[in-house]
Each structure stands twice: as C-alpha cells, then as structure tokens.
Chain A
C-alpha cells in the first residue's frame, strides 16, 4: 500500500528525513511516533504529495514515485482520508456541508447519494445532531470528529491522521482515538503521526519511531526489494 525507498527530504540546509525506508500493507495500523520536528509531518506530506522527496522514492498504491501531474495528485488524494491536527474545516460551511464537500469532490457518487452518505458519516462520529452547526460553534473534539467524518465519508482504504489529538483535552482525545480504532477495525488502514506515546499505546498496531529524521533501528522495516505498491 505504501512504500518508502531510501527517502531523504531536505528543506534548504535542514534535513527533515534521512534515508528512510519502510512499508505499510493494506489494513495495517501504523503509528509514527516522534518528537516535534522529528519528520512525522514531512513523512505524511510525502504520502499525500504535498511535498516531494529530495531523493529516494515514495509509492502509494498505484502511484509510483516522481512528481505527479496535478490531476494525478488530486486523484491520489481522493483515494485517501486525511485528518489534520488543526482540523482544516471550512469556517463558513456547516458541519454537514464540510463533510458533503468531500463526497462531491470524490465525484464517484450521484447527487442523490450525497445526503445519505454524509448523514451516515456524521452518525458514525456522533455528530448528526450538530449537522447545521458551523465549526466555530463546536468544541475542538467535535471539530476533530467532523474532520474524521469528512475523511471517512468516501470509505478510503487508508486513513492518515497527523497528530489527531494534538489540540484536544483528554476526554475528547480518548473519544477520537476510540473512533479511529473503530474505523481501523472496520477495515481501513490507519497511519497516525503523533508525539504522544499514549496515542500509540491506545491505537496499538505497528510503531515506527522517528528521531531527527531517521527511523530508529528497532522500528525500521527493511525496504522491500523491487517494492510493489499496496
């Protein structure tokens, strides 16, 4: 599903990832653990093609390395569900509209399917009562659940979450982690980047530890020979 082959990423003089190789299979749960600026977000951004490796190759499904054309990048992102620490919700849209937007962007569903799909996703995250609310009217935990609803509404095979509990107080964080665990149990692969070991403990799964841009030896997974996508 995902393979990194000797990936190095530099931002000018700063080395964000240093010769990183690992892979993740379908349905797997992987938690990338590391301190702030260890390279977790860079690793996730490489998967979504928001940035390009300085050297090495990133394979995501059938999308293999190199700089993808804009159309292919959009297509790749439509196959993923992504949750950000700061939620990235549209402030002038209701909860319902934020989630429905992802359904429309996917372009795979008829107009008549948009409402039921969106409502189902909101129900799954327990937000159907707040569907008309604007993000500003929600608590941080509810906003993150809205972002998760948006990420799962198209049933992606892989859900990527970058510090999903970073902005949340313990109770909301626990609810969000329960939700992510449930989504994983239902079949989606889960890739979470976090600074908090307790998040890794709660989610279980395989743990990769990033230290100053390098995967720690104990957690590193050998690069697949002739690496195939998932």
Chain B
C-alpha cells in the first residue's frame, strides 16, 4: 500500500509540476530566511560563549586576611561558585606597573595601595547577569572580603544581546512557520481543486478522508523536504562566503541541520494534515 501511496503522490506532483514548483520555490524562500537567522543566531551564540569564557569576577581581600582565611574562602568559592586564582598584593602591583608603564608615575606612589584578590571563574550556569549579581552579593558577605567587582553593566549588555539574538531567531521561526502553513494550505487547496474529479470519484467509491489525504500529505512532505534541503544548501553557501571575510563564522553543526530539516518536515506534516482535514470536507458528495 505504501508504494501505491508514493506512486499516487508522484503522479500528482508530475501532473501539477507548476504548482509543485511554486510551492517549493515559496517554501525555499521562507526556509532560507529562517536558516539565515538560525546561522546568525548560532554564530552570535558561539561568539558570546567565547566572550562568556572570559567573564570573571574579582574578589578584593581585606589586608588583615591571613593565608588560612584566604584558603578557607577559596575552598568555599570552589564549592559553590567556580574556580579561583589568588593574586597577591605584589602580583597586583606588578601587573599594574606593566599596564601603566610610566616609571615616574609609579614612583610617585610611595606604597603599594593594591589589595590582594581572588580572580573567580564562575561555572557556566552562573555566567549571566542575574546569577553573577547574586554571587557577588553572597561573596561580599564573607568576612575576608573587602569588595567584589564583575563589570555588571558589561555583563548585562552581553546577556541582552544574547537574548535579542535568540528572540530574533524565534520570531523568524514563527514567521516562517506561518508562511509554510499558508503556502502548503493554498498549494494543497489548489491541488485538490485540480484533482477534484478524482477526489469526488474516490469519495463515491467509499474512500475515507485518510485514504484520499495520504498521497497529498506525502506530496507536501516531499516538497518541504526539497525546500529545506535547498535552503540549507543556500545557508551553507552564505556561511562559506562569510567565512572568507570572518574566519570565525562557521556553518550549523549536523545536529542543528538535521533539526532544521526535521522541524520543517514536521511542520509540513502538521500543516498539510490540518489543511486537508478542512479542504476535503468541501469536496465530494
């Protein structure tokens, strides 16, 4: 029976090549838009993740904190927040000196005013503004701690950028989903109208809606599959072209590509099933 349905679908595509081409073309346009946003979103996320790796928190220690106190604090930080590196007052001064570079200016400062500190690399799940802010407040309560800094504004903006990228990709996905539903609905309606005589005869012979619908659904799925594959190819070409200028740009990983095609096919299946449920009720005795 599966072969029969496949043959029927192929017969329908062949008989209405113009319609099939229009459907594939329209869906390719919509899916290419989606693939582009997905590609941009993926690369933005990668870039943000790389920047996120450099997010760190500086915990300034009180001058009176002993080595044992610092060790105790480091243990607590390791346990709850992430890894930490101790920077002594001398190391801090040395780094500062290298950054300033002007010996005269440095000589003007008679004593080392810099405190010892811990540079904390937070766990990945804590690398967002809200979590970092909470961590900072918690760490500040330790008696060994003078102050905590983590570049709050910079982290907040980074998070906002990440959220914007994700929201844009989602919005594009929603627009494309709607476009696919509309394209498939109208294509199927036209195909069913074009094959009205066949549908009516099958109805009179006692064919159920499912029997009549299956070839049309297969036809729609084939069209979506072709459109999604072409879109992915176009996105690949765009990614290649971009990587010539920006070497850090990379194409979607296989799992994302599969999810893209799979998502399009599932959407096509849902849209065509829903459309045919409505359309077939208007055709036939």
Contact = CB atoms under 8 A, between A and B. Distances in A.
Contacts of B4: 104, 111
Interface centre among B4, B203, B205, B285, by most chain A C-beta atoms within 10 angstroms, is B205
Given A50-B285, A105-B211, A92 B15 contact: yes
A48 B201 CA distance: 13
Contacts of B198: 90
B90 to A, nearest CB: 85
A106 interface: yes
A89 to B, nearest CB: 8
Interface in B164-217: 197-198, 201-209, 211
B1 interface: yes
B94 to A, nearest CB: 83
A78 B206 contact: yes
Contacts of B211: 104-105, 107
A150 B197 contact: no
SS class, residues of chain B in contact with chain A? helix
A211 interface: no
B206 A88 contact: no
A51 B4 CA distance: 31
A105 B197 contact: no
B201 A88 contact: yes
Contacts of A12: none
| Contact residues on A (Cβ < 8 Å of other chain), bracket | 20 to 34
Interface centre among A48, A102, A104, by most chain B C-beta atoms within 10 angstroms, is A104
A74 B208 contact: yes
A94 B197 CA distance: 16
Nearest to B5: A104
Given A90-B198, A92-B15, A107-B211, A150 B205 contact: yes
A105 B206 contact: yes
A82 interface: yes
A74 B206 contact: yes
B205 A77 contact: yes
B1 A74 contact: no
A226 interface: no
Nearest to A77: B206
Given A50-B285, A105-B211, A107-B211, A90 B206 contact: no
A71 B209 CA distance: 8
Nearest to A72: B208
A87 to B, nearest CB: 10
Contact of B204 (A50, A70, A79, A92): A50
Contacts of A227: none
Nearest to A87: B201
Contact of B207 (A45, A88, A105): A105
A220 interface: no
Top-6 shortest CB links A-B: A78-B206, A77-B206, A50-B285, A74-B208, A105-B207, A74-B206
Interface of B: 1, 4, 11, 15, 197-198, 201-209, 211, 281, 285
Given A51-B285, A74-B208, A74-B209, 8 more contacts: A48-B285, A70-B209, A70-B281, A71-B208, A77-B203, A77-B206, A78-B206, A79-B206
16 contacts: A45-B285, A48-B285, A51-B285, A70-B281, A74-B207, A74-B208, A78-B205, A79-B206, A88-B204, A89-B201, A92-B15, A104-B1, A105-B206, A105-B211, A106-B206, A111-B1
